[in-house]
Structure 1
Amino acid sequence: MKIYVDADACPVKDIIISEAVSVEIPVILVTSFSHFSNAEQPPGVETIYVDSGADAADYRIMKLAESDDMIVTQDYGLASLGLAKGCLVLHHKGFTYTNENIDQLLQTRYLSAMARKSGKRTKGPKPFTQEDREQFRQLFKKAISRST
Protein backbone atom coordinates (compact mmCIF):
# COMPACT_ATOMS: atom_id res chain seq x y z
CA MET A 1 0.00 0.00 0.00
CA LYS A 2 1.09 3.54 -0.80
CA ILE A 3 -0.57 6.77 0.26
CA TYR A 4 -1.00 9.47 -2.38
CA VAL A 5 -1.77 12.96 -1.14
CA ASP A 6 -3.29 15.69 -3.32
CA ALA A 7 -0.99 18.01 -1.40
CA ASP A 8 -1.49 21.55 -2.72
CA ALA A 9 -4.11 22.53 -0.18
CA CYS A 10 -4.05 19.55 2.17
CA PRO A 11 -4.15 20.74 5.80
CA VAL A 12 -3.38 17.29 7.26
CA LYS A 13 -0.07 16.45 5.56
CA ASP A 14 1.67 16.45 8.94
CA ILE A 15 -0.75 13.85 10.33
CA ILE A 16 -0.43 11.66 7.23
CA ILE A 17 3.36 11.80 7.32
CA SER A 18 3.78 11.15 11.05
CA GLU A 19 1.27 8.29 11.21
CA ALA A 20 2.34 6.60 7.96
CA VAL A 21 6.08 6.86 8.63
CA SER A 22 5.57 5.28 12.05
CA VAL A 23 4.23 2.12 10.39
CA GLU A 24 6.52 2.33 7.33
CA ILE A 25 3.86 3.02 4.70
CA PRO A 26 5.24 5.09 1.80
CA VAL A 27 3.73 8.56 1.32
CA ILE A 28 3.78 10.37 -2.01
CA LEU A 29 2.92 14.07 -1.87
CA VAL A 30 1.81 15.30 -5.29
CA THR A 31 1.90 19.08 -5.58
CA SER A 32 2.37 21.81 -8.16
CA PHE A 33 5.67 23.57 -8.79
CA SER A 34 4.05 26.72 -7.41
CA HIS A 35 4.24 25.05 -3.97
CA PHE A 36 7.90 24.07 -4.31
CA SER A 37 9.75 23.59 -1.03
CA ASN A 38 13.31 22.72 -0.08
CA ALA A 39 12.08 21.24 3.18
CA GLU A 40 13.56 17.82 3.80
CA GLN A 41 11.03 15.02 4.18
CA PRO A 42 11.55 12.00 6.43
CA PRO A 43 12.53 8.65 4.88
CA GLY A 44 9.52 7.05 3.22
CA VAL A 45 8.05 10.37 2.05
CA GLU A 46 8.48 11.47 -1.56
CA THR A 47 7.35 14.71 -3.17
CA ILE A 48 6.38 14.75 -6.84
CA TYR A 49 6.02 18.14 -8.48
CA VAL A 50 3.67 18.69 -11.41
CA ASP A 51 2.74 21.64 -13.60
CA SER A 52 0.41 24.21 -12.12
CA GLY A 53 -2.29 23.43 -14.70
CA ALA A 54 -5.77 22.40 -13.64
CA ASP A 55 -5.95 18.77 -12.55
CA ALA A 56 -2.23 18.06 -13.16
CA ALA A 57 -1.85 16.59 -9.67
CA ASP A 58 -5.00 14.52 -10.14
CA TYR A 59 -3.75 13.04 -13.41
CA ARG A 60 -0.38 12.14 -11.88
CA ILE A 61 -1.99 10.50 -8.88
CA MET A 62 -4.27 8.43 -11.11
CA LYS A 63 -1.31 7.41 -13.26
CA LEU A 64 0.61 6.17 -10.21
CA ALA A 65 -2.08 4.79 -7.89
CA GLU A 66 -2.96 1.12 -7.90
CA SER A 67 -5.81 -0.87 -6.43
CA ASP A 68 -5.65 -0.93 -2.60
CA ASP A 69 -3.57 2.27 -2.40
CA MET A 70 -4.92 5.21 -0.41
CA ILE A 71 -5.63 8.67 -1.79
CA VAL A 72 -6.24 11.73 0.40
CA THR A 73 -8.01 14.53 -1.45
CA GLN A 74 -10.76 17.08 -1.19
CA ASP A 75 -11.41 16.85 -4.95
CA TYR A 76 -14.58 14.89 -5.66
CA GLY A 77 -13.56 14.17 -9.26
CA LEU A 78 -10.26 12.63 -8.17
CA ALA A 79 -12.09 10.73 -5.44
CA SER A 80 -14.46 9.26 -8.02
CA LEU A 81 -11.58 8.13 -10.23
CA GLY A 82 -9.75 6.66 -7.24
CA LEU A 83 -12.80 4.67 -6.17
CA ALA A 84 -13.19 3.30 -9.69
CA LYS A 85 -9.57 2.13 -9.54
CA GLY A 86 -10.13 0.28 -6.25
CA CYS A 87 -8.39 2.77 -3.97
CA LEU A 88 -9.41 3.79 -0.48
CA VAL A 89 -10.13 7.53 -0.70
CA LEU A 90 -10.27 9.85 2.32
CA HIS A 91 -11.25 13.50 2.70
CA HIS A 92 -9.18 15.68 5.04
CA LYS A 93 -12.29 16.52 7.06
CA GLY A 94 -12.45 12.93 8.25
CA PHE A 95 -14.80 11.01 6.01
CA THR A 96 -14.34 8.21 3.51
CA TYR A 97 -15.53 8.55 -0.06
CA THR A 98 -17.59 5.53 -1.05
CA ASN A 99 -19.48 4.29 -4.07
CA GLU A 100 -22.61 5.12 -2.06
CA ASN A 101 -21.81 8.80 -1.41
CA ILE A 102 -19.73 9.91 -4.42
CA ASP A 103 -22.66 10.42 -6.80
CA GLN A 104 -24.40 12.78 -4.36
CA LEU A 105 -21.17 14.71 -3.75
CA LEU A 106 -20.56 15.09 -7.49
CA GLN A 107 -24.18 16.14 -8.08
CA THR A 108 -23.96 18.80 -5.36
CA ARG A 109 -20.72 20.10 -6.87
CA TYR A 110 -22.32 20.26 -10.32
CA LEU A 111 -25.44 22.09 -9.09
CA SER A 112 -23.30 24.62 -7.20
CA ALA A 113 -21.19 25.24 -10.31
CA MET A 114 -24.32 25.78 -12.41
CA ALA A 115 -25.73 28.19 -9.82
CA ARG A 116 -22.48 30.19 -9.80
CA LYS A 117 -22.42 30.20 -13.61
CA SER A 118 -25.89 31.74 -13.63
CA GLY A 119 -24.75 34.48 -11.25
CA LYS A 120 -25.98 33.10 -7.95
CA ARG A 121 -23.84 32.95 -4.85
CA THR A 122 -23.13 29.66 -3.16
CA LYS A 123 -21.69 28.91 0.25
CA GLY A 124 -18.05 27.94 0.41
CA PRO A 125 -16.72 25.19 2.64
CA LYS A 126 -16.89 25.63 6.39
CA PRO A 127 -13.59 26.57 8.06
CA PHE A 128 -11.28 23.67 8.88
CA THR A 129 -11.31 23.09 12.65
CA GLN A 130 -9.25 21.26 15.25
CA GLU A 131 -12.18 18.85 15.55
CA ASP A 132 -11.87 18.12 11.80
CA ARG A 133 -8.13 17.41 12.29
CA GLU A 134 -8.85 14.94 15.09
CA GLN A 135 -11.64 13.28 13.15
CA PHE A 136 -9.25 12.82 10.21
CA ARG A 137 -6.50 11.50 12.50
CA GLN A 138 -8.79 8.83 13.93
CA LEU A 139 -10.11 7.80 10.50
CA PHE A 140 -6.59 7.71 9.05
CA LYS A 141 -5.16 5.66 11.92
CA LYS A 142 -7.99 3.16 11.60
CA ALA A 143 -7.49 2.93 7.82
CA ILE A 144 -3.74 2.31 8.02
CA SER A 145 -4.10 -0.17 10.87
CA ARG A 146 -6.32 -2.32 8.63
CA SER A 147 -3.59 -2.45 6.00
CA THR A 148 -0.65 -3.34 8.24
Structure 2
Amino acid sequence: MFILLAGSTEMARALIVDEFLGNHSDWRHLALEDIQEPETDAMEEDDDIFGFQMSFMTMVACECAKEETEAGHHVIITCPDSDMLPGIYAEIDEPIVSVFLGDSSDAEGFDHVIDSASQSMVEISKTLDQIIQAQPA
Protein backbone atom coordinates (compact mmCIF):
# COMPACT_ATOMS: atom_id res chain seq x y z
CA MET A 1 0.00 0.00 0.00
CA PHE A 2 1.12 3.51 -0.81
CA ILE A 3 -0.04 6.66 0.96
CA LEU A 4 0.86 10.03 -0.51
CA LEU A 5 0.94 12.83 2.05
CA ALA A 6 1.04 16.39 0.70
CA GLY A 7 0.21 19.89 1.88
CA SER A 8 1.09 21.72 5.08
CA THR A 9 4.80 22.32 5.76
CA GLU A 10 7.86 20.13 5.50
CA MET A 11 8.27 20.18 9.28
CA ALA A 12 4.61 19.26 9.90
CA ARG A 13 4.77 16.36 7.42
CA ALA A 14 7.98 15.10 9.05
CA LEU A 15 6.51 15.22 12.56
CA ILE A 16 3.31 13.49 11.46
CA VAL A 17 5.25 10.75 9.68
CA ASP A 18 7.52 10.24 12.71
CA GLU A 19 4.44 9.81 14.91
CA PHE A 20 2.84 7.46 12.36
CA LEU A 21 5.96 5.31 11.86
CA GLY A 22 6.39 4.95 15.62
CA ASN A 23 3.19 2.90 15.60
CA HIS A 24 3.73 1.08 12.29
CA SER A 25 6.92 -0.97 12.01
CA ASP A 26 5.79 -2.40 8.66
CA TRP A 27 5.77 1.03 7.00
CA ARG A 28 8.63 2.94 5.38
CA HIS A 29 8.93 6.64 4.56
CA LEU A 30 9.92 8.08 1.19
CA ALA A 31 10.62 11.78 1.74
CA LEU A 32 10.60 13.48 -1.64
CA GLU A 33 11.67 16.61 0.23
CA ASP A 34 15.13 15.02 0.28
CA ILE A 35 15.43 15.07 -3.51
CA GLN A 36 14.08 18.57 -3.98
CA GLU A 37 16.89 21.04 -4.46
CA PRO A 38 16.78 24.17 -2.32
CA GLU A 39 15.89 27.30 -4.24
CA THR A 40 18.90 29.58 -4.28
CA ASP A 41 18.67 31.84 -7.29
CA ALA A 42 16.98 32.13 -10.67
CA MET A 43 20.12 31.20 -12.59
CA GLU A 44 20.13 27.68 -11.16
CA GLU A 45 16.49 27.22 -12.20
CA ASP A 46 17.53 27.75 -15.82
CA ASP A 47 19.90 24.77 -15.59
CA ASP A 48 16.95 22.33 -15.48
CA ILE A 49 14.50 24.24 -17.63
CA PHE A 50 12.43 21.17 -18.60
CA GLY A 51 12.48 19.55 -15.17
CA PHE A 52 14.47 16.52 -16.32
CA GLN A 53 16.55 16.34 -13.17
CA MET A 54 13.49 16.44 -10.90
CA SER A 55 11.71 13.86 -13.08
CA PHE A 56 14.70 11.54 -12.96
CA MET A 57 15.12 11.90 -9.19
CA THR A 58 11.39 11.25 -8.67
CA MET A 59 11.61 8.16 -10.87
CA VAL A 60 14.56 6.79 -8.87
CA ALA A 61 12.83 7.52 -5.55
CA CYS A 62 9.65 5.76 -6.71
CA GLU A 63 11.70 2.72 -7.75
CA CYS A 64 13.07 2.58 -4.20
CA ALA A 65 9.51 2.76 -2.86
CA LYS A 66 8.43 -0.10 -5.13
CA GLU A 67 11.34 -2.20 -3.87
CA GLU A 68 10.13 -1.64 -0.31
CA THR A 69 6.65 -2.90 -1.20
CA GLU A 70 8.19 -5.95 -2.88
CA ALA A 71 10.00 -6.59 0.42
CA GLY A 72 6.63 -6.60 2.19
CA HIS A 73 6.49 -3.05 3.52
CA HIS A 74 3.94 -0.32 3.01
CA VAL A 75 5.22 3.13 2.02
CA ILE A 76 4.15 6.62 3.04
CA ILE A 77 5.41 9.19 0.54
CA THR A 78 5.67 12.83 1.55
CA CYS A 79 5.55 15.31 -1.29
CA PRO A 80 6.63 18.95 -1.00
CA ASP A 81 5.58 20.15 -4.44
CA SER A 82 2.43 19.52 -6.47
CA ASP A 83 4.57 19.55 -9.63
CA MET A 84 5.96 16.18 -8.50
CA LEU A 85 2.56 14.47 -8.32
CA PRO A 86 2.23 13.48 -12.00
CA GLY A 87 5.68 11.86 -11.87
CA ILE A 88 4.77 9.86 -8.78
CA TYR A 89 1.53 8.59 -10.31
CA ALA A 90 3.33 7.76 -13.57
CA GLU A 91 6.00 5.69 -11.83
CA ILE A 92 3.89 3.75 -9.32
CA ASP A 93 1.42 1.43 -11.01
CA GLU A 94 -0.32 0.39 -7.80
CA PRO A 95 -3.15 2.42 -6.27
CA ILE A 96 -2.00 5.37 -4.19
CA VAL A 97 -4.17 6.73 -1.39
CA SER A 98 -3.63 10.49 -1.46
CA VAL A 99 -4.04 12.63 1.65
CA PHE A 100 -3.84 16.41 1.70
CA LEU A 101 -2.99 18.26 4.91
CA GLY A 102 -4.73 21.61 4.93
CA ASP A 103 -7.84 23.30 3.62
CA SER A 104 -10.14 21.33 1.34
CA SER A 105 -10.24 24.22 -1.15
CA ASP A 106 -6.57 23.48 -1.95
CA ALA A 107 -6.99 19.69 -2.17
CA GLU A 108 -8.49 19.10 -5.59
CA GLY A 109 -7.80 15.57 -6.78
CA PHE A 110 -6.89 14.14 -3.37
CA ASP A 111 -8.73 11.15 -1.91
CA HIS A 112 -8.76 12.53 1.65
CA VAL A 113 -8.30 15.90 3.34
CA ILE A 114 -7.17 16.38 6.93
CA ASP A 115 -7.48 19.85 8.42
CA SER A 116 -3.99 19.98 9.89
CA ALA A 117 -4.60 23.42 11.44
CA SER A 118 -7.16 22.03 13.87
CA GLN A 119 -5.62 18.63 14.72
CA SER A 120 -2.49 17.54 16.54
CA MET A 121 0.04 15.21 14.92
CA VAL A 122 -1.27 12.39 17.15
CA GLU A 123 -4.83 13.03 15.92
CA ILE A 124 -3.65 13.18 12.31
CA SER A 125 -1.76 9.91 12.75
CA LYS A 126 -4.96 8.32 14.10
CA THR A 127 -6.88 9.67 11.11
CA LEU A 128 -4.28 8.09 8.80
CA ASP A 129 -4.89 4.80 10.66
CA GLN A 130 -8.61 5.13 9.98
CA ILE A 131 -7.95 5.81 6.29
CA ILE A 132 -5.77 2.70 6.09
CA GLN A 133 -8.36 0.56 7.89
CA ALA A 134 -11.02 1.68 5.40
CA GLN A 135 -8.99 0.50 2.39
CA PRO A 136 -9.95 -2.81 0.78
CA ALA A 137 -7.48 -5.62 1.49
Instruction: Give the TM-score range, shorter chain.
Output: 0.3 to 0.5
> What TM-score, normalized to structure 1?
0.42
Structure with larger RCO (C-alpha < 8 A, sep 6+): 2
> What TM-score, normalized to structure 2?
0.44
